A and B are shown apart, each in its own frame.
Chain A
């Protein structure tokens, strides 16, 4: 730094816009995605076939799915998380001197944000490529319930980590919506802010129930039964897509035990 005034950096000049985009990205698309994700996962409680149908609907996007995922999920999460961690650096929490409830929520918002970042990274790592030692690493969108169930059921600490992670994400979203309402000037008076805190609290409790229901759904699911349902569904899908001709279904590389069973006549 020189004695003359240094010209402000790009980040300094656009600090307001960047902070507002950070605020917005937490709700759209990251928060909105999380709500859809937890609701979809909770549909496992209705059975492996229902959940598989929901996953199939997402995967019907086919080759553009990675593009959609990166644009609306991964890049926004990374933007929100990396900036969020950088912002935490510039503050000094003081809950011990000023133990007010709003100050504790401020501190929790930052703590849950960091837990959520670590959890989301772990969650992707666990279900996809690298989580093999922990029952994961093999998430297969055509065997969604059985592979996710295997991953969740592999160890108690995995289930605890997911419970903590999901609750942290839910708290961060619910409290984040409340602070966002102040940041953007939706609720201004202290009375309006108090009412909004009840609404956001109620939303948080509901979403926590959905998230924990999804988790217990994967914990309780019978993996083998689910796999059988998924094999049958996959065979139907392959026949429908013309990948496999009628009568050839025994030779699918999944090695599904369709021996003797004639294909379901109700399939399209």
Chain B
């Protein structure tokens, strides 16, 4: 590959990382030196930092912690703020980043989720929202009920893009209406009680674009449709669709280019009709 700007890539570059030793602890900045290698991504940068475990000033530190899994932008685990923008570390290529911002790379954990350690965040709220809208097709039983209803090619075309969601959380990170909820364990509180209290707090917050879009996906599905009303009830409960403020950042940052704002508007229409129907059928 010929890239005229390649000559400007330095042999060594700086990486600024916002670290945090544990949940609820104070965060602090740390600067690391990284030797440039061909075709680096942010994950390989973090691997080098972990192998060296030494700051720019030569201070020995614990290796920086991060989450990753698939390394091909389909699992969503390595989402973090790279140069202030939410994206996957695996698909953030160092040469491109240094061309945009030659003075180094800045890494921060996602700001809308509680930090576990360094760049690792706890995204339970994201998955709770998927449970809230029942983002699945219900198991109908352990016996053969014959073939299910067929899906039209038109519905398949609509559903496929929505099915590419990898629950990475970029849409939530960029959403001005999605605000951080962090519950801290009280003294003497059992783990179970704490988790229950945390779940209740998450349920009161905004569900987010990903869950709205998944509700639409499973309401299109011929079998999933059988629980359409329950999903719309979930979308109109506290913290539901109504919190959306139409900033439309979700669709702009989605790494899978999922038409999230179309899903939101479709959910708007469906909940409008569902609420009217419920009101007049009382």
Residues of chain A touching chain B, judged by Cβ–Cβ distance below 8 Å, are 3, 5, 8, 12-13, 15-17, 19-20, 87, 90-94, 97-98, 100, 102-103, 106-107, 109, 179, 181-190, 193
Known A-B contacts A8-B238, A12-B204, A90-B179; the reply to A184 vs B272 at CB < 8 A is: yes
CA distance A32 to B205 in the complex (A): 33
How far does the Cβ of B243 sit from chain A's closest Cβ, in whole Å?
Answer: 8
Known A-B contacts A183-B268, A185-B266; the reply to A193 vs B261 at CB < 8 A is: yes
Check A188–B269 contact: CB distance below 8 A: yes
CA distance A184 to B272 in the complex (A): 6
Cross-chain contact of A103 among B189, B247, B270, B275 (Cβ < 8 A): B247
Considering the complex of A and B, which 6 residue pairs feature the smallest CB-CB distances, nearest first? A185-B269, A106-B247, A185-B268, A19-B242, A102-B248, A188-B265
Task: Produce 1/0 per residue, B155-191, CB < 8 A to A.
Answer: 0000000000000000000101101000000000100
In the bound complex, residues from chain B placing their C-beta under 8 Å from that of A183 are 242, 244, 246, 268
Task: Produce 1/0 per residue, B256-274, CB < 8 A to A.
Answer: 0001011011111111100
Check A91–B177 contact: CB distance below 8 A: yes
How far does the Cβ of A78 sit from chain B's closest Cβ, in whole Å?
Answer: 20
> Can you list 24 contacts pairing A with B, beta carbon distance less than 8 Å?
A3-B189, A5-B196, A15-B237, A16-B237, A19-B243, A20-B275, A90-B177, A91-B176, A97-B84, A97-B174, A98-B174, A103-B176, A103-B249, A106-B248, A109-B245, A182-B261, A183-B246, A185-B271, A188-B269, A189-B262, A189-B265, A190-B259, A190-B262, A193-B265
In the bound complex, residues from chain A placing their C-beta under 8 Å from that of B200 are 5
Cross-chain contact of B240 among A15, A90, A98 (Cβ < 8 A): A15
Known A-B contacts A20-B242, A91-B245, A102-B249; the reply to A185 vs B267 at CB < 8 A is: yes
Quick one: closest B residue to A94, CB to CB? B176
CA distance A63 to B84 in the complex (A): 60
Judge if B124 is at the interface, Cβ distance under 8 Å: no
Residues of chain B at interface, number, CB under 8 A: 42
How far does the Cβ of B111 sit from chain A's closest Cβ, in whole Å?
Answer: 9
Quick one: closest B residue to A181, CB to CB? B265
Task: Produce 1/0 per residue, B227-243, CB < 8 A to A.
Answer: 00000000011111111
Check B249–A100 contact: CB distance below 8 A: yes
Check A93–B176 contact: CB distance below 8 A: yes
In the bound complex, residues from chain B placing their C-beta under 8 Å from that of A19 are 242-243
Cross-chain contact of A102 among B197, B239, B246, B267 (Cβ < 8 A): B246
Quick one: closest B residue to A1, CB to CB? B197
Quick one: closest B residue to A2, CB to CB? B197
In the bound complex, residues from chain A placing their C-beta under 8 Å from that of B56 are none
Check A188–B176 contact: CB distance below 8 A: no
Judge if B52 is at the interface, Cβ distance under 8 Å: no
CA distance A13 to B236 in the complex (A): 10
Check A97–B238 contact: CB distance below 8 A: no
CA distance A91 to B271 in the complex (A): 23
Judge if B25 is at the interface, Cβ distance under 8 Å: no
Quick one: closest B residue to A9, CB to CB? B238
Known A-B contacts A5-B200, A92-B179; the reply to A98 vs B237 at CB < 8 A is: no
In the bound complex, residues from chain B placing their C-beta under 8 Å from that of A8 are 204, 238
Check A16–B253 contact: CB distance below 8 A: no
Check B252–A188 contact: CB distance below 8 A: no
In the bound complex, residues from chain A placing their C-beta under 8 Å from that of B177 are 90-91
Check B259–A92 contact: CB distance below 8 A: no
Check B270–A16 contact: CB distance below 8 A: no
Quick one: closest A residue to B253, CB to CB? A98
Cross-chain contact of A100 among B197, B252, B268 (Cβ < 8 A): B252
How far does the Cβ of B205 sit from chain A's closest Cβ, in whole Å?
Answer: 10
Which of B200-218 touch A at CB < 8 Å? 200, 204
Known A-B contacts A12-B204, A106-B176; the reply to A182 vs B271 at CB < 8 A is: no
Check B265–A92 contact: CB distance below 8 A: no
Check B179–A179 contact: CB distance below 8 A: no
CA distance A111 to B176 in the complex (A): 14
In the bound complex, residues from chain A placing their C-beta under 8 Å from that of B266 are 185, 188
Cross-chain contact of B252 among A98, A109, A184 (Cβ < 8 A): A98
Quick one: closest B residue to A191, CB to CB? B262
Quick one: closest B residue to A104, CB to CB? B247
How far does the Cβ of A171 sit from chain B's closest Cβ, in whole Å?
Answer: 15
Judge if B16 is at the interface, Cβ distance under 8 Å: no
Cross-chain contact of B179 among A15, A87, A91 (Cβ < 8 A): A91
Give 17 new A-B contacts, CB below 8 A, not counting A12-B204, A98-B253, A183-B244.
A3-B193, A16-B240, A90-B179, A94-B174, A97-B84, A98-B174, A98-B249, A103-B249, A181-B265, A183-B268, A184-B268, A184-B272, A188-B262, A188-B266, A188-B269, A189-B262, A193-B261
CA distance A91 to B180 in the complex (A): 10
How far does the Cβ of A172 sit from chain B's closest Cβ, in whole Å?
Answer: 13
Judge if B123 is at the interface, Cβ distance under 8 Å: no
Cross-chain contact of A16 among B176, B247, B275 (Cβ < 8 A): B275
Check B245–A94 contact: CB distance below 8 A: no
In the bound complex, residues from chain A placing their C-beta under 8 Å from that of B243 are 15, 19, 90
Judge if B85 is at the interface, Cβ distance under 8 Å: yes
